[in-house]
Structure 1
Amino acid sequence: MSPPPIGHAPDAAANAGWAGWAASARESLAEGQAALAVRFDAGGDIDRLLASRIMAVDRQVLTAWRMCVPEGAGLSLFAVGGYGRGELFPHSDIDLLVMAEPEVQAAHEDALSRFFTSLWDAGLPVGHAVRSIAQCSEAAAADVTVMTSLIESRPLDADDDARQALEAAVAPGRVWSAREFFEAKRNELRERHARHGDTSDNLEPNLKEGPGGLRDVQTLHWMALRIIGTSDLESLVSAGQLGADEAESLDRERINLSRLRYGLHLVAGKREERLRFDYQKRLAERLGYVDTDGSLAVEQMMQGFYRSASLVQRIGERLMQRFEEQIEGEPIPQPIDALFELRRGYLAARDAGWPRQPAEVFDLFATWAARGDVRGLHSQTARALAEALPELPDFVAATPALHVRFLQLLRGPEPVKTLTRMARLGVLGRWIPAFARVSGRMQFDLFHVYTVDQHTLAVLKNLSIFASGEHDERFTLAREVWPRLRKPELLLLAGLFHDIGKGRGGDHSELGADDARVFCGAIGLSAIDAALVEWLVRKHLLMSTTAQKQDITDPEIIHRFATEVGDRERLDHLYLLTCADIAGTSPKLWNAWKDRLLADLYTATRLALRRGLEHPLAAAERAVETREAAHAMLAAFGTGDREIESLFSRMPEAAFRRGRPDQLAWQAGALRGVATGDTRVRARPVAAHAGAMEVFVHSPDRDGLFAAIVATLDRIGLAIQQARVLDGPEGTIFDSFEVIPSDPRHIPAAEEIEQRLEAALAGNLDEIKPPRRAQPRHLRHFRIVPQVAFDDTAGGRTQASLVCTDRPGLLADVTRVLRHQGLRVHDARIATFGERAEDLFQVTAVDADGHDQPLDEPHQQALKEALLACLEGDA
């Protein structure tokens, strides 16, 4: 069907013509998009693909314009924004400006309406504005975003007079001077970065808006247009604003990011800027990445993105500094010493030929660390440093003098800030090549939310918090332990190397320990010091796995752990490294119970080492010590000896072997006034940890009681971290639960927990069922094949272990299965590592006489099948 005549009145025939054109245009654009996708998959040049998309859209936009707007109407059409810039991705918006005086706008209002409607009908996502020249100035002056859109306008159907009029309307002498525009866009960039956590190293980064993303490249382009008058990279090199190497790097990373964004639009089938888990694997496959022994395809793709984003940020910081100097004028240098000076607060080398030897690079970081008034590194010095990196030797090839300089940095002021700066500027990767290999390296899971290098820096930052001596309520003992360290720099080295072996296809702890040994030997550490660093790297997971997966109230477990640790120095270092490591893995991973577990394990191990490994503490001795300590606590609050012993007689003996004195004194107090057949629930907050609670339940035992408690806690909004299930005298249960809020925004009060649990347990337990919740989106991409295993060495009980994908309500569902199998739960340890749940339960079956028995083979098989059936819905 042919289009209606130009400017034709909107009768039925015309409407039919426009509809036919829109359908034809939609089909043409879709065919063109498909052809471009084929070219993209074949590795076609991204800039040519973007230009081809622009040309295809231009054709349809101009056709619609000429169909709807009569020639000589006095209307001018411009492409603005990304469309004006000539950068149009598969599902990007089409931003248009129609410029005309108000009376002309009014005269052609219907024509413009038909024009925009036709474009939408053709499948083009159009954003538009209709303004006069004066209105363009007013809108630009009021909103820097409008201003930004207009400075990269491209005439589609406009004469030179209209083009010049628009340029004049937004000229620096009229709106947004170069200084004002620069400051506004720089603030905009900082605020945007802050919204994304000031890091590009997110699990699901935003390719466009995130730090180091394409918006950063565009911001530099806009600043250059306003300040220099051009954004062409060659022109910026000629103007002295960019080095040739910087221009080449910036353009290369823009191309890499553009290719990622183009592919993301294709994979998502819509405008999508966030590299979500839903698309990462498919995009990596589409871009040609393949899995290797040491690295998944998706991890390789993401490492490429993180490195591109890091380089864009690095060059962007330099260029913005140069723009600032272009506006402010050359600063007056303030000499520091023979090598360095301050220029407007930025640290700069005084010698244009700096660095003339590698030692001067370490001198730079030493000077930086010694002064608290440095805003950052001057752009010229940063560029000189980048150019000198290929000549900087690694630690193997370095001279002994350089080794000494590096150790001085570790022992000097602000060593963690120094290491962070060295990492960000590429020096640490040159000095330690293994660190360069893990820079930007992500792990495709939910446990590690940072790249390996950023995680390492986060661990070091946590160590610096311990070193500061400042109170941090997250860590109970760290501030006390740090001063005991003989040489703190050894712990920093262990933190630096603990994950450096990742991505090589072997045990990263072993590989990292080997690297640490070589490094420590090369830089001249003593054999004793080198051995400590190597051991810490090799065993950096020992304390966390012991605390989270074993019963650290068992004296045998403590003795075994203490034997492996060997001495107090190793224990002090390992405790601090473990706290820093867990807290640096994910902001959500560290909580009150991990703090308490590690503190308890540290304290118990320290006592075992003090007692001597040749004198292990027996369970009976521990029970006596704990009982006496709890007795003293109750007596201190005025409770008489007779009442204390009466309360203790109602508690299981196992509680004294496995509990803490303060916990037992609290539980004993809760039993006051409680008859044997009564239910008593008590909850108390864990000091200094918002939302963390300890819940105690004393009740007559009934089938399904444990499952009912778990389901009720789940309904209240509490996630169980650990459960201790003990049988009390006269058919009672004596259960303890360590819980944290499932949603930190909603923290139930202790009174609410007590009332709701008591009310639930007073009713029919069969009616208490776990709530049904949808699986979170991100968990769908991290399916773990469920594993169920059994161990019969738990002293008359069977230990059932479950590894599977975590999800809301998992524990409640599992305990319901245990109930339906007729099993009794005697202990439970709940551990979650990102998307991975690792839960342990000590269970027994009940024989005909009501006695507990370990599970025989048929019972184990039946339980395994029931658990796997319960988890099938997680697939």
Structure 2
Amino acid sequence: METLDRIGVLARFLPEWEPVRCRPQRDPYHLNSVDVHLLHTLAGMSRLLDGGDESDPLVAEAAAATEDRDALLLGALLHDIGKTGGGNHVPVGVEQATAALERMRLRARTRDLALFLVAEHLLLSDTATRRDLEDDDLVLDVAARVGDPERLAGLYLLTVADAKATGPLAWTPWRATLVRELVAKVQRVLERGELGPRAAERLEALGEGLRDLLPNEGPAEVDRFLERMPRGYLLATPAEQAAQDFPLLRPPVGAHEVRTLSGPGARPGTYALTVVASDRPGLLSWIAGSLSLAGLSILTAQVFTTDDGVAMDVFEVEGAFEAQIGEDRWREFRTTLRKAIEGRLSLEHRVAQKRTHYPGPNAAVAVEIGVHNDASDFFTVVEVGAPDRIGLLFDVTRTLAELHLDVHLAKVATYGHRVVDVFYVRDDLGRKVEDPERIAELERAVAARAGS
């Protein structure tokens, strides 16, 4: 196929190919031009269908569920055919792919599946890295868009092939695990018509599991822990993790006290970090700044507050410059955070000072801010696309705190020199941000801080 592309035969057979031939990609994480990327994705899809990735059991399962190989190969070949310059390439790609597939006079089933893959090829990756996978409505919406297990299998294979053809930064272990988690949840809905055990059953199972794991604690103490913790924490946290978090809340947390728990993360190459401190405005930004100064990068953050005003913030982090994080690094983080809480250290000054020792942000990467109120029933979702740099998350969370917005969930996805930070926020009265003037101010303030 690459030979056919080089000598121009592919463009004669497929006129829609000509605009993407030798067209450079306008982002740093795509290693190849559009046409070469499409051909590499096609080759990757062929390998996956032939069982070429033994490290991922889900690939073999998805390949076995595929009945229409031609549709998947065509979807891989055409998924970025709309990248002809400027604007959203997906609707353009659907239009181009429709014309091309109509000329091929394929079976309606093959054509429709290939078009579905072109239209939805970003769905799994974008949803997994930018949305709350504990949101049941979100999973149901994705399942409705996918429709059936065979389409889900094809979409997963295309997601893998597309990412691996993009470059090493596009299919990290962290991103792969998130996508697989989403696929498993959607698959359960499509096959069984349910999300999993109901909330009441999950809460009851957590309580029983926690009592079994803490045999030396009185039942009343365990019950008090369950009563103090917010529902979101109880539904999202396995009993084993809750048992490790239990001692962090005893005895009562002092005004300037910081307690932490760190260990291997659930995903390869990551670390789990729990921070407990007295809740106050700006705490998340202090934690983000302290992590940045200690050379640690946040991948995800979940923010919980007990009924008596203690923050328990749960992070997934990785080393900003090396894979292994030693105790000296955790100690540096704790010391910095404690000084910031006590008012003995200016994080803004220290982060700005550290930034001077590193190259500035890539000017070619634009700052893009999106505020969405239709992505969640209870939170406003703020998306921040910006050039990656030291202290970016600290600056953005500091801005959100200044605007009296509480962060419930944060996700960070890095694509080469570009970062997409996603925040689920509410105001200090627990409401979504829906006033147009306030939304405009939020967009301006975050854009100014992210672009500085």
TM-score (norm 2): 0.82
Alignment correspondent of 1:300: none
How far did residue 422 of structure 1 move?
4.6
Structure 1, gaps ≥5 residues long:
1-418
Q: Does 1:763 align with 2:339?
A: yes
How far did residue 655 of structure 1 move?
1.9
Of 212, 216, 232 in structure 2, the residue corresponding to residue 654 of structure 1 is 232
Q: Does 1:749 align with 2:325?
A: yes
Shift of the 727–427 alpha-carbon distance from structure 1 to 2, 3 Å rule, reads: same
* Partner SS for 1:672: helix
1:229-628 paired onto structure 2 within 5 Å: 419-420=1-2, 422-423=4-5, 427-467=9-49, 469=51, 475=56, 477-503=58-84, 507-520=88-101, 522-523=103-104, 525-612=106-193, 622-627=198-203
Identity %: 31
Alignment correspondent of 2:289: 711
Q: Does 1:840 align with 2:422?
A: yes
Shift of the 722–673 alpha-carbon distance from structure 1 to 2, 3 Å rule, reads: closer
Of 345, 359, 362 in structure 2, the residue corresponding to residue 779 of structure 1 is 362
Of 816, 820, 824 in structure 1, the residue corresponding to residue 406 of structure 2 is 824
Alignment correspondent of 2:446: 867
2-side partners of 1:634 and 1:757: how far apart?
29
Q: Deviations over 1:351-386 (max 9, x none)?
A: xxxxxxxxxxxxxxxxxxxxxxxxxxxxxxxxxxxx
- Number of aligned residue pairs: give it: 438
* Partner SS for 1:584: helix
**Structure 1 contact 423–429 (Cα < 8 Å) conserved:** yes
How far did residue 725 of structure 1 move?
1.2
1:65-84 paired onto structure 2 within 5 Å: none
Alignment correspondent of 2:392: 810
1-side partners of 2:20 and 2:295: how far apart?
38
Shift of the 538–703 alpha-carbon distance from structure 1 to 2, 3 Å rule, reads: closer
Alignment correspondent of 1:699: 277
Shift of the 733–672 alpha-carbon distance from structure 1 to 2, 3 Å rule, reads: same
**Structure 1 contact 558–604 (Cα < 8 Å) conserved:** yes
2-side partners of 1:434 and 1:788: how far apart?
31
Q: Does 1:723 align with 2:301?
A: yes
Alignment correspondent of 2:244: 669
1-side partners of 2:111 and 2:143: how far apart?
21
How far did residue 496 of structure 1 move?
0.7
2-side partners of 1:671 and 1:462: how far apart?
46
**Structure 1 contact 651–734 (Cα < 8 Å) conserved:** no
Amino acid at match of 1:867: V
Q: Deviations over 1:301-325 (max 9, x none)?
A: xxxxxxxxxxxxxxxxxxxxxxxxx
**Structure 1 contact 683–695 (Cα < 8 Å) conserved:** yes
Of 256, 262, 266 in structure 2, the residue corresponding to residue 683 of structure 1 is 262
Shift of the 869–489 alpha-carbon distance from structure 1 to 2, 3 Å rule, reads: closer
Amino acid at match of 1:493: L
Shift of the 761–501 alpha-carbon distance from structure 1 to 2, 3 Å rule, reads: closer
**Structure 1 contact 676–700 (Cα < 8 Å) conserved:** no
**Structure 2 contact 226–234 (Cα < 8 Å) conserved:** no
2-side partners of 1:549 and 1:673: how far apart?
29
Structure 2, gaps ≥5 residues long:
none
TM-score (norm 1): 0.45
2-side partners of 1:509 and 1:866: how far apart?
30
Shift of the 684–583 alpha-carbon distance from structure 1 to 2, 3 Å rule, reads: farther
2-side partners of 1:792 and 1:527: how far apart?
33
**Structure 1 contact 648–668 (Cα < 8 Å) conserved:** no
Amino acid at match of 2:339: G
Q: CA RMSD in A?
A: 3.6
Question: Which has the higher Rg, Structure 1 or Structure 2?
Answer: 1
Amino acid at match of 1:827: L
**Structure 1 contact 544–578 (Cα < 8 Å) conserved:** yes
2-side partners of 1:706 and 1:833: how far apart?
23
Shift of the 680–750 alpha-carbon distance from structure 1 to 2, 3 Å rule, reads: farther
Amino acid at match of 2:276: H
Alignment correspondent of 2:316: 738
2-side partners of 1:426 and 1:639: how far apart?
72
**Structure 1 contact 631–665 (Cα < 8 Å) conserved:** no
How far did residue 609 of structure 1 move?
1.3
**Structure 1 contact 700–731 (Cα < 8 Å) conserved:** yes
Shift of the 528–750 alpha-carbon distance from structure 1 to 2, 3 Å rule, reads: farther
How far did residue 535 of structure 1 move?
1.2
Q: Deviations over 1:562-612 (max 9, x none)?
A: 111111111111112122223322321222331122111111111111233
2-side partners of 1:675 and 1:638: how far apart?
14
Quick one: higher RCO (CA 8 Å, sep 6+), 1 or 2?
A: 2
2-side partners of 1:525 and 1:764: how far apart?
64
Q: Deviations over 1:657-685 (max 9, x none)?
A: 4x264xx5324323236415344322333
Q: Deviations over 1:476-532 (max 9, x none)?
A: 732432222223332122101111232166753344334444554555542212211
Amino acid at match of 1:572: A
* Partner SS for 1:733: strand
How far did residue 463 of structure 1 move?
2.8
2-side partners of 1:710 and 1:583: how far apart?
30
Amino acid at match of 1:563: A
* Partner SS for 2:362: helix
How far did residue 818 of structure 1 move?
2.8
* Partner SS for 1:842: strand
How far did residue 722 of structure 1 move?
2.2
Amino acid at match of 1:595: A
Amino acid at match of 1:781: A
